[in-house]
Amino acid sequence: MTESEKMTSGSSPISSVPAAVSAASLAAAGYTPQEVKAADTRVAAVDPHSPGPATAAQTSESQPWQVSRVSQTFHDVVAHTWPPLWMDGQIQEINVRRLGSAYLTLQDNLLQNTISVLGFGQFAHEARLFKQGDRVVVHGRADVWQKTTRLSFRADRIIRVGEGTLREQIEELRRKLKGEGLFDEDRKVPLPEFPHCIGLICAPGARAEGDVKRNALLRWPTMQFAVEHVHVQGPDCPPEVVAAIKKLDEDPHVDVIIVARGGGSFEDLIGFSDESVVRAAAACTTPLISAIGHEDDWVLLDLAADLRASTPTDAAKRAVPDVNEQTQIISTASDQLNRRINDVLTTEEQLVRGYLLHPSLTHPETVLTRPEMEMHQLADQLHVAMTRLVDSAESDVSRSIAQLTALSPQKTLDRGYSVIRDAHGHVLTSTSSLHVGDDLELLLKSGQAGARITTISN
């Protein structure tokens, strides 16, 4: 093939060769050896189904990666090596027209650098409150959109900066929850004096877990633990902490719950100021200790918890009694009890000795002497009293006899009077019931006589 024919075809010699044409066919068609070699190379590299080399360093002009492979690799590297972060910027563009999704372009506060931000669900709901020009802080992680191999930022939280800074929003939430009584002292549950099992909420493999376990076991070697591993920062932190609190609160073996995390920046600890976490802690019936960060760190969970510990180590010490201190307390109490018992025994022994030396025991007869004397005195008094009583009674009887004698009907008969009775024995005092011929009975001083009525006069 002449050069003019090649040019007339409208393509370069390499690009105009069909993929299925062999090197021999190209040579027969008049291509130069250099063109045939180039065509051979192109034919070996265009198979889109070839997986290619295992690593990027092994690729070559004859063994390249496909674009999709490169895009996937970029995506994987970014997804697996970049941690979640908070980013500060100004909204240059915002699109929340689609329900459930939000697309933003954030610009640096000083330079012209921009980055695409997208988010869904809760982020999209929160983004609807913002507009172009707002300065915001967003939380999320880097992402590569594989279709266009474009770097973007996948966000899950958005917070206004300036008029509604992060700290101000937390302060506003604090005032709201305080107004609801979630931080009141009367809601606090006292810690158990001797817990058997500690429910521990922390990150997997975190130093805080080791600090709590080590110090708790040093103070009480038989202590048991129910550990729930959660994210302690980022968007997964609040829901996982809430779920862990509810799970441990429902566990009947858990006596106290410790939510522990090591120190960090204010933004790192923001998850423990989430409203859902605070409400879960306030609703928890099991005593809960907040051990987030260091002494100077603070989160809203500290206010809702039943006790705030400065560090995870401090939480363990305040949740668990010291076995050595308890042993010393028992020993001291035992000594005091023994002394009290000895004092009581000594006192009682002295009382028994006193009783043994009492005359009533050494000379029992003396016990009866005084009562015997008192009995004789009482007997004499009784005799005198009875004598007087009898004498008085005799005098009364004599007087009564004299009075009765004076009033006796016999005395009347003795003076010459008689008592007349009818045939029925009734004493007659009037003639109204008498008739001539009635028989009468006369009762005289000495003896009786019969009579008959011959006359009656009124």
What is the percent of the chain with per-residue pLDDT over 90, rounded to a whole number? 45
Q: What's the pLDDT score for residue 415?
A: 76
50 and 72 share a domain?
Answer: no
Which positions ≥6 away from 413 have C-beta within 8 Å? 419, 443, 444, 445
Q: Residue 40's pLDDT band (boundaries 50, 70, 90)? A: low
What's the CA gap between 319 and 289, in Å, rounded?
A: 8
How buried is 235 (Cβ within 10 angstroms: 0-12 exposed, 13-18 middle, 19+ buried)?
A: buried
Q: State the DSSP string of 364-414.
A: TTHHHHHHHHHHHHHHHHHHHHHHHHHHHHHHHHHHHHHHHHHT-HHHHHH
If asked whether residues 43 and 104 sit together in one domain, one would say no
Tell me the pLDDT of the chain averaged across its residues: 85
pLDDT-derived band of residue 155, with 50, 70 and 90 as boundaries? very high
Q: Which among 21-25, 111-115, 161-165, 301-305 has the top mean pLDDT? A: 301-305
The span from the CA of 276 to the CA of 57, in Å, is 48
Q: What is the pLDDT of residues 200-239, one digit of tens each?
A: 999 998 999 999 999 999 999 999 999 999 999 888 999 9
Give the domain-ending residue among 38, 58, 78. 58
Same domain, residue pair 315 and 221: yes
Which of 276, 275, 305 is CA-nearest to residue 292? Answer: 305
pLDDT score recorded for residue 229: 96
**pLDDT for the residue numbered 224:** 97
Average pLDDT over residues 10-23: 45
Q: Tell me the CA distances in angstroms from 411 to 406, 415, 419, one per residue in order.
A: 7, 6, 12
Is 214 inside any structural domain?
A: yes
Return the CATH number at 151. Answer: 2.40.50.140
Q: Is the pLDDT of residue 429 over 90?
A: no
**Residue 331 forms part of a structural domain:** no
83 plus 102 within the same structural domain:
yes
At residue 14, the pLDDT reads 43
Half-sphere exposure at residue 272, Cβ-oriented, CA atoms within 13 angstroms = 32
The packing angle between helices 275-283 and 237-250, to 10°, is 10
Statement to judge: residues 32 and 139 lie in one domain? no
User: What is the Cα–Cα distance from 125 to 161, expressed in whole angstroms?
Assistant: 18
Q: Is the pLDDT of residue 250 over 80?
A: yes
Q: Is the pLDDT of residue 161 over 50?
A: yes
Query: Nearest to residue 305, comparing CAs of 182, 174, 215?
Result: 182
Residues 75 and 54 in one domain: no
Provide the domain limits for residue 429. 412-452
User: Quick one: pLDDT band at residue 34, thresholds 50, 70, 90?
Assistant: low
383 inside domain? no
Q: What is the mean pLDDT of residues 53-63?
A: 84
**Hey, what are 303's tokens?**
């206010």
Query: Is pLDDT of 249 > 90?
Result: yes
Give residue 399's identity as a one-letter amino acid code: R
Say whether 257 sits in a helix, a strand or coil.
strand
Note whether 21 and 146 are same-domain residues. no
Stretch 283-309: mean pLDDT: 93
Say yes or no to pLDDT of 20 above 90: no
Query: Are the C-beta atoms of residues 293 and 261 closer than 8 Å to each other?
Result: yes
Which range of 22-36, 226-240, 420-434 scores highest in mean pLDDT? It is 226-240
Range from 158-167, 394-403, 408-417, 438-447 carrying the lowest mean pLDDT: 158-167
Question: How far is Cα 22 from Cα 43, in angstroms, rounded to an integer?
Answer: 9
Residue 51: helix, strand or coil by DSSP? coil
Top pLDDT among 162 and 363 is at 363
- Distance between first and last Cα of the chain: 205
Domain co-membership, 194 together with 130: no
Query: Do residue 204 and residue 258 come from a single domain?
Result: yes
The verdict on residue 344 lying in a domain is no
- DSSP, collapsed to helix, strand or coil, labels residue 24 as helix
Task: Give the torsion through C-alpha atoms of 448, 451, 453, 455, to 10 deg.
Answer: -90
Q: Do 305 and 202 lie in a common domain?
A: yes
In a domain, 375, yes or no: no
Domain C-terminal end among 113, 131, 164: 164
Residue 307 belongs to a domain: yes
Both 101 and 34 in one domain: the answer is: no
Nearest to 201 by CA among 94, 290, 325: 290
Domain presence at residue 113: yes
> Of 301, 321, 341, which closes a domain?
321
Residue with tokens 């004598």: 387
- CA–CA distance, 174 with 167 (Å, rounded to integer): 10
Report angle CA 174, 178, 181 to the nearest 5 degrees. 150
- Tens-place pLDDT, residues 341-375: 999 999 999 988 888 787 777 777 777 888 888 99
Q: How many residues does the chain have?
A: 458
| Most confident listed range (261-270, 312-321, 346-355) | 312-321
Cα separations (Å) of 104 from 98, 100, 109, 235, 325? Answer: 13, 14, 15, 19, 60
Is 345 contained in some domain?
no
Looking at the structure of the chain, the number of domains it has is 4
Which of 9-18, 53-62, 212-221 shows the lowest per-residue confidence on average (mean pLDDT)?
A: 9-18
* Side-chain-side CA neighbours of residue 161 (13 Å): 15
Residue 135 confidence class, pLDDT cut points 50, 70, 90:
confident
**pLDDT value, residue 68:** 86
Tell me, yes or no, whether 48 and 77 share the same domain.
no
Indicate the residue type of 276.
Answer: S
**Six token digits for residue 110:** 């000083």
- Whether 4 has a pLDDT exceeding 70, the answer reads no
pLDDT of residue 103: 93
**Residue environment code for 91-111, b if the CB has 16+ CB neighbours within 10 A, otherwise e:** beebebeeeeebbbbbbeeee
> Is residue 297 within 8 Å of 269, Cβ to Cβ?
yes
